[in-house]
Structure formats: structure tokens, C-alpha cells
Chains A and B, each alone.
Chain A
Amino acid sequence: MSYYTGRHGSLLLDGNTIAQVQNWSVSSSVSLLSIKTLAETDDRFIADGRTTTGSCRVLYYQETPGVKGSNNASTFINKVIKAREVGGDFYQGATLAQGPNGTNRSSLRLKIDDGTDDGLYIEMRVIITNITMTMAVGEVLAADITFQSHGAPQFVNI
């Protein structure tokens, strides 16, 4: 019998393993519709829809001073926090696309290493909905990231 701990966890963003991930979590909830009629005493339901959200915490680090590096917290941060694009005088925005090559969404795989090649995983197309970075006395700079799945997960092997 095998149990899994944080030692077995990892996270892949757009196919690349992200370094210094301190935790990830995923939550899938199903909303209900009541079909209880006037003649009934107890609630009856049908499933209405499903929402899959999650979060992760990635420590911010630099391997080499002056070099942001890749496949780390910066990768997440740069998907959401972007400098304004060069445009007309009145254009002050930046693209909301988060995926590779200008696509809207990223691919996120939450993985459990069970010793097999692919391991156990949930892979979904996600939009990052929030990134919070906190610099505080006595704490390591980290990015707290929340994301929401676009549709049902693409692959579920868990």
C-alpha cells in the first residue's frame, strides 16, 4: 500500500516542470438544481454544472543574479502581469492571452509520482485567475496562484 506526500508531487505548466513549487491543490465542485415539487418533503436534485479550480504556491528564486530563469515562479507571473504593449497613444493595455504562442489558456498538469513513467495526474486547460506576491519580513518571496479549469480536465489519471 502506498501513500503519497508532498515528496511525490510536482506541477507542469505547458509541459514543463515548474521548479520550487511548495504546494498545489485542486478543487472540483458540482452545483445542484432542486427538483423538489410542492408535493414532496425532501430535497431532490439534479447536477447542474461543475467548477474545477485550484491553487499553488511557487517560491520565487534566481539561479543567477540578473537572470529570471524559466519554468519557475516567473513563468506564472509573466502570464498575468504584463507590461503594456506598444500601440497608439490611447492604447494602454496588454494582451490577456496566457497560453504559449498567444493562445488564451495554459495547460496545467498536477502530478503525483507513483514510480511509473507518467505517474498519476490531472491535466487541464486553465486560466490563471489570481497571482499574489507578498514580500514580508521573515518570509520567502513566493507567488500564490489560483487558476480555474476551462471545461473538464483534458486528462484524468488518478
Chain B
Amino acid sequence: MPFPDLVPTARTFESGDYPVKTFKAQNGAETRILYGSNRTNMKLSLTYANIFDADAEQFLDHYDEVQGTFQTFSVGGTDTTRGGWEGNKDALGAQSQGSRYRYESPPQVVQVRPGVSSVTVNLIGVL
């Protein structure tokens, strides 16, 4: 089961960082060692406000299918998860860096009224 193809009502994205270790000498001089060539740890937070419960259920089912925070997966395309973003698809993604998303935490579902809920999903990009 793929990640639900829904356009979020709000989205935040942190672009992560390359694996860099920084050493600082007592005189202030800094030495950095790059341990890899792929950026990782990007965070994608998606909010789906006031969606029908049937759609909200897809996130709960998907979370269960990927065994919670265990398995990685790719998120939807430009028209769905990244809907409304007019830059390059890669910029919000993880795959171009060889990473894939997994759930950082369980999806949060807030019941708004009968049949309608709001869902917040926090994803993190890992190699």
C-alpha cells in the first residue's frame, strides 16, 4: 500500500544535512570531516485538516503496513503530497539523495466532527 495520495492543507519541510563531524581546537580553529556524500535526516510534516474519516484511515492503515517507524517508503508525486509546490519535486524529496522517508512518529488523528478528522504526519528521511 503506497503512502496516501492526498494533497495536504499544510506542509513543513526541513532539508536535513550531510553527515559532517566538526572538531574545534582550543584556538577556535574548526576542522570538519565529511563522512558521506548523501544528505539525510530531512523532515517532512504534513497536515491534512478536515478530511473524511475514510481518508484519515488510509494513514493509519499505511502506518500499520510499514510496521510503524520501521520500514521506509516513498511519498506521493507532485500533484499529491507535494501539491501546491511549484519548485522541483526533488527539492522536497529524499530519493535524490538516496534516502527514503519513514514515519518519525505515529500519525496524529484529531476528530473534528462526525466523519471528519484532521491528521498530522511527521516523516523523516533516512538512508
Contacts and interface: CB of A to CB of B under 8 A. Distances in A.
Interface residues of A, number: 11
Interface stretch (A4-12, A35-43, A96-104): A35-43
Given A35-B50, A39-B84, A48 B113 contact: yes
Contacts of B112: 33, 48
A46 interface: yes
Contacts of A37: 6-9, 83-84
B113 A39 contact: no
Contacts of B7: 37-40
By DSSP majority rule, is chain A's interface helix, strand, loop, or mixed?
loop
A38 B84 contact: yes
Given A38-B9, A39-B7, A46-B50, A33 B83 contact: no
A48 B85 CA distance: 29
A29 interface: no
A49 interface: yes
Contacts of B62: none
A36 to B, nearest CB: 7
Interface string B44-59: 0000011100000000
A64 interface: no
A144 B50 CA distance: 38
B113 A49 contact: yes
A34 interface: yes
Contacts of B8: 37-38
Interface of A: 33-40, 46, 48-49
Closest 3 CB pairs of A and B: A38-B84, A39-B83, A37-B7
